[in-house]
Structure 1
């Protein structure tokens, strides 16, 4: 299938039109970059639209399809996109960011990011009700936009979360419409997420870029796993998607991750506020890392 026809083919692959999943909010959003208003698409709540499925080791909530609405992807409604300049941000940042230099950089890079997104998500649409394909394109627009956002607004963490969600959405696209290499693209975004999650920790501990302003750490929309979630995901992504060419470097990074994960256990045993699912997946990750280190004759201190 020709790449230029992918968007149309993907919409066809989604099947017949289902009852409304979203609606247009009455109050318009003002784009701080081009100063033009646009409508906000909001997902309806309730009515059997979302049927919660399993939670993956990446803290991603899968949703089962329903007979009435089909498969729903709540993630795709979290990003807003101005249809005029294609500035894409988390909805609250359209009002929350108040840095003129950021807006200047976003305005200057508009054409460049549109071309970049078109290369991966050809003929994406930001004007109509969004499909999974359009939603993924919007996340990629946002990933590129946050490159230009001032560090006062925690762009490194937001790029980490966006990149991880992009990996999930690309896997969903591959599942719905296979054969277009979105499984490979997902791996690229996983590696980007690995870099940004680890850079978030470096920036936070080095007091380079604070994450105090972040209210929801996700990584998905259903639960907030906080700062411990960042530590866990940094270790998990290293274990699953980190480089393997340099074995000694890999083992060192895994040993560091193992120690960080162990500290989560120590806190979790005495705190009822720690999310139970996080402790469960962290314990599993700790065991997997310990097993790999052991098979390579690397024995760290007992951190438990």
Structure 2
């Protein structure tokens, strides 16, 4: 999909450190080999929190000393030997041998798929935005072979949404390489996985709501209410438009689900304020849309 993207410049080495290599190495459960773990440094003005988007994505204001920093790219680990990638905790949590065998059997398939979208990625250097996006895509493919007991559907929902954000950022940094197209692909995948996670939870196939950290970003956990909200928001913003009747049906269902958030949120202190605010905005937008208002006149 993407071609002509150059390797990251060596000038990055001259910038003040934003990450470090941990003394404790990570052991890959797939190939059983150790590899260094890169972790993000914090403090000293490295992270200046900006606005929270309607997608519950925290933006950060670049600093003069450290430049632009994206904490998202450090939340994933990727083994440079077998190109398996997980959220860091799952390197020790996933022990199902059948899952690990399936992952091992697809090493070359993963490498080829990721290299087609994020060429020149490197799993051994201080990670760049491109490397981070590649690691997320590797993780998305890795979790495809993980047993349902490890909640892979919910994790892939989070991964695909973050991938869409990273691709949007890549498109801003290096326009003209189809990263904007990739972002739209990952948004649509995110719709599928978020909605499938809810279906699996409802049908008791996968206990999606028990995942400890649902993000969707790394700064705050908006929990299961955040998942319900994002199901509606992503459908509203990026859902299919070919079958209008089906679209309106899904949005009406989302409106009802979001209304439940309001009912609980008014009396429950545990509900995060920003989620209620964004949910209310979405609810009002859905109400206007379902009442027949021109979609172009509706903004969140």
Match of 2:42 among 39, 45, 58: 45
Do residues 126 (structure 1) and 114 (structure 2) align? no
The Cα of 1:17 is off from its aligned counterpart by: 3.9
1:7–1:133 contact (8 Å) kept in structure 2: no
Q: Which runs of 4+ in 1 moved over 2 A?
A: 2-5, 11-17
5 Å matches for 1:23-42? 23-42=20-39
Structure 1: which 5+ runs fail to align? 298-304
2:65 alignment counterpart: 68
Do residues 160 (structure 1) and 157 (structure 2) align? yes
The Cα of 1:258 is off from its aligned counterpart by: 0.3
Match of 1:242 among 235, 239, 242: 239
Count of aligned residue pairs for this structure pair: 294
Q: 1:60 to 1:92 in 2, by over 3 A?
A: same
Match of 1:185 among 161, 172, 182: 182
CA distance in 1, matches of 2:13, 2:164: 26
The Cα of 1:63 is off from its aligned counterpart by: 0.3
Q: Secondary structure at the match of 1:295?
A: coil
More displaced 10-residue stretch of structure 1: 208-217 or 168-177: 208-217
More displaced 10-residue stretch of structure 1: 203-212 or 85-94: 203-212
Encode CA deviations 1:35-70: one digit per residue, 9 max, x unaligned.
100011000011111100000000000001000000
CA distance in 2, matches of 1:180, 1:188: 14
The Cα of 1:154 is off from its aligned counterpart by: 0.2
> Scaled by the length of structure 1, what TM-score is found?
0.94
The Cα of 1:214 is off from its aligned counterpart by: 1.5
What value does the CA root-mean-square deviation take over the aligned residues? Answer: 1.7
2:209–2:224 contact (8 Å) kept in structure 1: no
2:4–2:177 contact (8 Å) kept in structure 1: no
5 Å matches for 1:79-228? 79-211=76-208, 213-228=210-225
The Cα of 1:179 is off from its aligned counterpart by: 1.1
1:302 alignment counterpart: none
Encode CA deviations 1:206-263: one digit per residue, 9 max, x unaligned.
1001125511110001111000000000000000011111111111001000000000
CA distance in 2, matches of 1:52, 1:138: 24
CA distance in 2, matches of 1:159, 1:74: 18
CA distance in 2, matches of 1:111, 1:238: 34
The Cα of 1:13 is off from its aligned counterpart by: 11
